[in-house]
Structure 1
Amino acid sequence: MKQAKLLTDAERKRVDAIIGAHRYSARNRAIFAISFFAGLRACEIAALKVQDVFDENGAVRDTIYLAAAQTKGDEANTVLVSNRLAKALAAYAAKYPTHTSKPKSPLFFSAKRGGFSAQTIVNLFARFYSLAGIKGASSHSGRRQFLTELADKGVNVRVIQALARHKDISTTQRYIDYNESKLRNAIELF
């Protein structure tokens, strides 16, 4: 199975520019942020409710609790919210306060004001990557990028496994990208 493409800095900037020109830029930035900064899958993004992410006062929660029905593996789990992700989610709430004040509503609304299905989230990622001229990227690119960047920063693979919510460490290891440059840098540590 072919891995989802990791984006270069230039590609991420192109995608961000395309998102910024879109009618629902705050929503789309938050969707991309939850993928790139928390590693959520398309099905998990689609399953989120406002109350999962925002507390009763409208503040971004520091931990998202996923019910078993919201996850790929049918097991309840937690997602830690970084400062970067919290900022994107707060910007989304500020842009759409009426929507984000309805606790039981889907977190992300579609153009028709309903929620997204997992497939429409996949399609949204594909559309923006296509508009940015990026081939090989998918809704899983953010998740893979999240895990690879953690590894690049020296985070222990067991910690990455926990953040990825994988049962088996070998699954986590398949997500982490390496190349000759990274291998050369590693041998120079001694």
Structure 2
Amino acid sequence: MKQARVLTQAEIKRVLIYCNGTKYAQRNRLAVLLSHYAGLRVGEIASLTWEQLLDANGDIRSQFYLAAADTKSNEARLVHINAKLMAELVAATKLTKTACGPIIRSQRGGHFSANSLAQVFARIYAGVGFKDASSHSGRRWFITELAKKGVTSKTIMELAGHKQLSTTQRYIEVTDQMKAEAVQLL
């Protein structure tokens, strides 16, 4: 099976611009950003609630736990939020009528199923013209970008919630530019 496409920074910007023109702009932007900047799987995004992200003062936490039941590996894990995703989440709390329940709400206001949210991703990427991108593209981008920036494989493995390093390594897309930069380190 072919792996999901890893987008470039410019392509991610195109996707976010496209999202801004959709009926559910904020929801779609958040889904894309949670995938790319937190490395979450589509099922993890679908299960995510404001209660997990907000502290007692109603502020976004810099890290939160995914419950074991919401992860593929059935093991809880700590997710860290970077500055870009934090800014988007803070903006979303100001626009959200109620900061409780699902972060990514279906048209009826409840949780998406993982499959339905994957279809939302497919429509977004198709709308931009990326036929080979999927809900897993953001996760692959997250892992590849961390590897490009020299983050240790063990750290990436833990951030991704993988049990085996070999799984993490399969996600990393190695480009000719990465290889050229690598040999220049010698």
For normalisation by structure 2, the TM-score amounts to 0.95
**Residue 11 of structure 1 contacts residue 134 of structure 1 at CA under 8 Å; is this kept in 2?**
no
**Are residue 156 (structure 1) and residue 152 (structure 2) matched?**
yes
Q: Which residue in 1 is equivalent to 2:166?
A: 170
Q: CA deviation at 1:5?
A: 0.1
What letter matches 2:171 in structure 1?
Y
What letter matches 2:98 in structure 1?
H
**Residue 66 of structure 1 contacts residue 78 of structure 1 at CA under 8 Å; is this kept in 2?**
yes
Q: CA deviation at 1:106?
A: 1.8
Q: Which residue in 2 is equivalent to 1:139?
A: 135
Q: Which residue in 1 is equivalent to 2:41?
A: 41
Structure 1 runs of 4+ aligned residues shifted over 6 Å read none
Q: CA deviation at 1:17?
A: 1.4
The secondary structure found in structure 2 opposite 1:85 is helix
Range 161-170 or range 9-18, more displaced = 9-18
What fraction of aligned residue pairs are identical, expressed as a percent?
A: 45
**Residue 73 of structure 2 contacts residue 161 of structure 2 at CA under 8 Å; is this kept in 1?**
no
What letter matches 2:24 in structure 1?
Y
CA RMSD of aligned residues (A): 1.2
The correspondence for 1:123, drawn from 119, 126, 140, is 119
**Are residue 186 (structure 1) and residue 182 (structure 2) matched?**
yes
**Residue 26 of structure 1 contacts residue 91 of structure 1 at CA under 8 Å; is this kept in 2?**
no
Range 164-173 or range 51-60, more displaced = 51-60
Q: CA deviation at 1:19?
A: 0.3
Residues in 2 aligned to 1:82 and 1:180: alpha-carbon distance in whole angstroms: 28
What letter matches 2:39 in structure 1?
G
Unaligned stretches of 5+ residues in structure 2: none
Summarize deviations over 1:115-139 as a string: whole Å, max 9, x none. 2111111011101000000121000
- Which structure 2 residues correspond to residues 66-105 of structure 1 after superposition, within 5 A? 66-96=66-96, 98-100=97-99, 102=100, 105=101
For normalisation by structure 1, the TM-score amounts to 0.93
What letter matches 2:134 in structure 1?
S
Unaligned stretches of 5+ residues in structure 1: none
Residues in 2 aligned to 1:93 and 1:149: alpha-carbon distance in whole angstroms: 27
